[in-house]
Amino acid sequence: MENIVREVSAEIYSDKCIDIESIVGNDNVYFYKNYPEGISNYNIRRVSLLEVLQDRSNVSDDVGGGMLIVYSLMKIKQFYNLHVLPSFDIKGQFSYSRETDDGDSKRVRTSFGRIMRRQYKITPDIIKDDVLAKINDILLQSIWNMQNMAKEVKGKDILAAYESYTGESCMSGDCSRYVELYAKNPDKVSLIITENEDGDCISKALLWRNDNDELILDRVYFASNKHMDSQAIISYAKQKGANVAYNSYSGRIDEGLGQVTLDITGCSYLPYMDTFRYAGSCKTGTDLKYYATFYNDDKVFGSLFHCSSTEGHDGIHDCQECGKTSVNNDNCCFYCGAYDDTCEDEDQDW
């Protein structure tokens, strides 16, 4: 491998149009890439690293050359199979392993420089110590940028974040009014976000505290090319001890996430939900407020309302007979069974 490293670096430093295939052969570049199943959020983590190494527009020639060497070597089978990734758990650390069955807990976690020196066999005569240190600083500032680190918001700040979100989301912009339920329950739900320089939300994920006092990270959303910001959200959630999905970018279908009981008093809409999307089991609290319980499994409790409307479904029923508020599948009061025939008219007002 040492010879491969030297040949690649020699072509880069000679300002040639690098042709990796001619150095290592097509089978070592265009090979079947085996994505490890035991590593959480593998693709996003790898893209985060590659994006930084690709952007060499504002660095000196020697640093840019070093970044190009690393980026080029990462395409080659022998080095690709190390699956070098930034760590979600410790700022500035990277992990690697040649065993594709190794999950995060079994992978070696160390510094970027040590991986380059010991695993990639990049010696100081190829990339000098000071240049390697600068590359490390660029990775540190880009992947774990303190200005883009995640923060947690609650209450009305959740509505503001949904309203300003710059990515694609059915509950953003004018539809942010549909998430009033989240703002009303700051003890049960918060939103982890990152923002751009204008203060707009560019990545977000709900953080639930279920009825067993366990933290659950919901699906992570991020605007175009904001992979590193989405990683900051996952890192934040892990540091808080939250249950984080193997793939944080799809809806949670895990069993055993418990249930979340929310105050629905005065709420008009039920938002689209990814995880705790099945609502029912209503009750009146000792505080005279009305509550509904939300589940991530529709089999755990009888007939449940499915919170799957992208237009803010009016599934909350204010009964004209008994005066109580509940959630129900067929516009019937959960408490007295009275049917509300005004719901269709309300739906048409959207």
| Tens of pLDDT, residues 44-74 | 889 889 989 999 999 999 999 999 999 999 9
pLDDT at 12 over 70: yes
Enumerate the β-bridge partners of residue 296.
Answer: none
Q: Where is average pLDDT lowest: 61-75, 138-152, 223-237?
A: 138-152
Chain centre to alpha carbon of residue 232:
8
Quick one: pLDDT at residue 42? 87
Amino acid identity, position 263: D
Quick one: pLDDT at residue 243? 93
Domain residue extents for the chain: 2-144, 147-239, 259-348
DSSP letter at 98 equals S
Which of 69, 64, 76 is closest to 26 using CA atoms? Answer: 76
pLDDT digits (tens, 9 = 90+) for 153-162: 999 999 999 9
CA angle at 170 for the pair 159 and 164, rounded to the nearest 5°? 40
Within the chain, where are the H helices?
A: 2-13, 20-24, 42-54, 61-73, 77-80, 112-114, 129-143, 156-164, 180-183, 227-239, 343-348
pLDDT digits (tens, 9 = 90+) for 316-338: 888 888 888 888 766 778 888 88
Q: Where is average pLDDT lowest: 52-66, 100-114, 308-322?
A: 308-322
Q: Are 333 and 349 in contact (CB under 8 A)?
A: no
Mean pLDDT score of the chain: 85
With bands split at pLDDT 50, 70 and 90, how would you rate the model's confidence at 257? very high
Q: Are strands 94-96 and 108-110 parallel, antiparallel or unpaired?
A: antiparallel
Find the length of the chain.
Answer: 350
Q: Where is average pLDDT lowest: 13-22, 206-215, 289-298?
A: 13-22
Q: Report the half-sphere exposure of 169 (CA within 13 A, side-chain side).
A: 31
Which of 36, 197, 201, 51 is closest to 102 using CA atoms? Answer: 36
Quick one: pLDDT at residue 350? 24
Whether this model's pTM surpasses 0.95:
no
DSSP letter at 33 equals P
Q: At what angle do helices 61-73 and 42-54 cross, to 10 degrees?
A: 150
With bands split at pLDDT 50, 70 and 90, how would you rate the model's confidence at 174? confident
With bands split at pLDDT 50, 70 and 90, how would you rate the model's confidence at 346? very low
Quick one: pLDDT at residue 146? 54
Which of 87, 342, 126 is closest to 239 using CA atoms? Answer: 87
Q: Are 208 and 260 in contact (CB under 8 A)?
A: yes
Q: Where is average pLDDT lowest: 99-108, 129-138, 326-335?
A: 326-335
Enumerate the β-bridge partners of residue 217.
Answer: 207
CA distance 116 to 128: 11
Statement: 147-239 belongs to CATH 3.40.630.30: yes
